[in-house]
Amino acid sequence: MAASASASALQAERCLLVGVGAGPRRHRLPLRMPPPLHAPPALLLLPHRRRRRWPPAVRASPGEGGGGGGGGGGGGGLAGALEKRPVMSALTVVVMNMRVLEIGVVAWSLATAIIPAVAGFMPGLVLSRILVGIGEGVSPSAATDLIARSIPVQERSRAVAVVFGGLSFGSVLGLLFAPPIIQNLGWESVFYIFGLLGIIWCLGFQSLKEQQLRGNEDIQVIQDLGQSPSGSSDLISSSVSPKSSESSLGELMNSLKDVPWREFFKSKAVWAMIYAHFCGSWGHYTCLSWLPTFFSEELDLNLTEAAWVSVLPPLGSMIITSIAAPFADNLISNGVDTTKVRKICQTIAFLSPATFMMLSSVDLGVPPWEIVAFLTSGLALSSFALSGLYCTHQDISREYASILLGITNTVGAVPGIVGVALTGYLLDTTHSWSISLFAPSIFFYLTGTAVWLAFASSEPQEFSKSEPESS
């Protein structure tokens, strides 16, 4: 249900952009606005904000700004998430991560719900976008930490796929349900409904969390009596106790000081993750922002058809993810080196879209539906990254997985701001989709593959003396 609202405002935005799409090229915006990239139900809600950045009251008119301004609408949320991610991710090491996840969802839900009320007041609107960015910044890292501390390596790909796969699932459902919601209830309803769904999710999550904590207390009593059930010790050691949620401010500040930031940036594997995240985000954000316009112009699809076609990549991602995650976990369970598995998956995630973009950028004389199939296949196969890059943070450090994701995710947010705008600028200058959209993405996919194969590693790294052993 929460997923239904996740991309609903995307359709409102596309309807509002019909007039924009008809204007001169230099005045056009992409038909989809970018997000910063990021527990399954919670992340189902994220695509809603990814595709809905500004209500119509404040959207730039066709005559305001150049094509490079295409990414500007999402800048507030992206900037908020970008600035806060590393520090907010550090909080997840000390504060109970389930609580951090709740706080993040509450923050972006309330900030989203108030947007219609502040639509005509720019400072209030900017503040709401920053709050959304902060909420988005902590949630993926909190979920990552929970996976890192509780899921063994041979099951990690499936856990990551379930959690982060919610982004694609939410996109599909949101795109399907958005038009009737907006048509019958108005554009404001998207923000109100989504804010309400976030609060409902938090109430349900709170109930589940309390049940888990009570269960852990019962198991602890059994352990104290010397009757520890088989296999329960790992669960208790990896889960967060109620006491851990009562960290004082002093403990929090001491923990932030104890984070081995310098050691992170001495690791070649960390730099490989940073660059891979940047490269993947470049292709992801620029394609999802500009492909509807590409379909409309180059393939002679009308805006409605282009909008419907845009649901295919996330739908394909859901299918590929359901195959890639068990594939990776089975390889690891059968004794294949974890680093090799992560390299295989990430290589598929990079070379597949690069190959299909090359085919789409040359004139092969194929019908439009084949170009759509090429690009859909490439973007869908890029979801192999959930079994590659997105598992590596947890592989190399259970203790600091959330912070490492915060670091790479911060860099990964940059293409959402710079890449989308640069694509618009290049399109204005060259009038070539091959040069403006496909060539930069292909470059980053290929160089990202080279760096990943050369330096990526899933070997546990001792960033600090307290680093626990890998699962």
pLDDT at 231: 45
Range in 127-136, 176-185, 221-230, 265-274 the model is least confident about: 221-230
Residue 332 burial (10 A CB sphere; 0-12, 13-18, 19+): buried
Q: What is the pLDDT of residues 365-375, one digit of tens each?
A: 788 888 889 99
464 located within any domain: no
**Please, which pLDDT band fits residue 359 given cuts at 50, 70 and 90?**
very high
C-alpha dist (Å) from residue 347 to 269, 280, 386? 15, 11, 12
Q: What is the pLDDT of residues 133-166, one digit of tens each?
A: 887 777 788 888 888 888 999 999 999 999 888 8
* Its pTM surpasses 0.75: no
Non-local CB neighbours of 352 within 8 Å, separated by 6+ positions: 377, 378, 381, 382, 384
C-alpha atoms less than 13 angstroms from C-alpha of 358 in its C-beta half-sphere: 10
pLDDT beyond 70 at 397: yes
Tell me phi and psi for residue 186, to 5 degrees: 95, 160
Q: How far apart are the first and last CA of the chain?
A: 34
Geometric angle at alpha carbon 419, from 416 and 423, rounded to 5°: 130
Kindly state the DSSP code that residue 343 receives in the 8-state scheme: H
48 located within any domain: yes
pLDDT, average across residues 422-444: 96
465 located within any domain: no
pLDDT at 190: 82
Distance CA 313, CA 266 (A): 36
User: Could you write out the DSSP letters of every residue in 111-163?
Assistant: HHHTHHHHTT-HHHHHHHHHHHHHHHHHHHHHHHHHHHHHS-GGGHHHHHHHH
Residue type, position 217, single letter: E
468 located within any domain: no
Tokens read off for 443: 């470059």
Residue 110 burial (10 A CB sphere; 0-12, 13-18, 19+): middle
Kindly state the DSSP code that residue 65 receives in the 8-state scheme: S
Distance CA 471, CA 469 (A): 7
Geometric angle at alpha carbon 278, from 275 and 281, rounded to 5°: 150
Non-local CB neighbours of 178 within 8 Å, separated by 6+ positions: 7, 8, 9, 10, 11, 12, 190
Report yes or no: 46 and 167 within 8 Å, Cβ to Cβ: yes
Report yes or no: 164 and 38 within 8 Å, Cβ to Cβ: yes
Kindly state the DSSP code that residue 242 receives in the 8-state scheme: G
CA 370 to chain centre: 28
Bigger pLDDT: 99 vs 343: 343
pLDDT at 218: 54
pLDDT beyond 60 at 61: no
Query: Domain residues for 323?
Result: 2-455
Distance CA 121, CA 283 (A): 34
pLDDT beyond 60 at 236: no
467 located within any domain: no
Distance CA 424, CA 431 (A): 10
Distance CA 153, CA 471 (A): 6
Kindly state the DSSP code that residue 468 receives in the 8-state scheme: P
Mean pLDDT, the chain, rounded, equals: 75
Residues in the chain: 471
Cβ of 357: how many Cβ atoms within 10 Å? 22
pLDDT at 62: 35
Distance CA 4, CA 13 (A): 16
pLDDT at 143: 84
Number of domains within the chain: 1
Share of the chain above pLDDT 90, in %: 35
461 located within any domain: no
pLDDT at 328: 97
Q: At what angle do helices 268-298 and 401-430 cross, to 10 degrees?
A: 40
Distance CA 280, CA 353 (A): 10
Most distant pair of Cα atoms in the chain: their distance? 76
C-alpha atoms less than 13 angstroms from C-alpha of 22 in its C-beta half-sphere: 6
pLDDT beyond 60 at 46: no
pLDDT beyond 50 at 309: yes
**Please, which pLDDT band fits residue 453 given cuts at 50, 70 and 90?**
very high
365 located within any domain: yes
* 278: CATH: 1.20.1250.20
Report yes or no: 134 and 81 within 8 Å, Cβ to Cβ: yes
Distance CA 140, CA 280 (A): 17
**Please, which pLDDT band fits residue 59 given cuts at 50, 70 and 90?**
very low
466 located within any domain: no
Non-local CB neighbours of 254 within 8 Å, separated by 6+ positions: none
Q: What is the pLDDT of residues 243-278, one digit of tens each?
A: 444 444 555 555 666 789 999 999 999 999 999 999
Highest mean pLDDT among 96-100, 135-139, 296-300, 410-414: 410-414
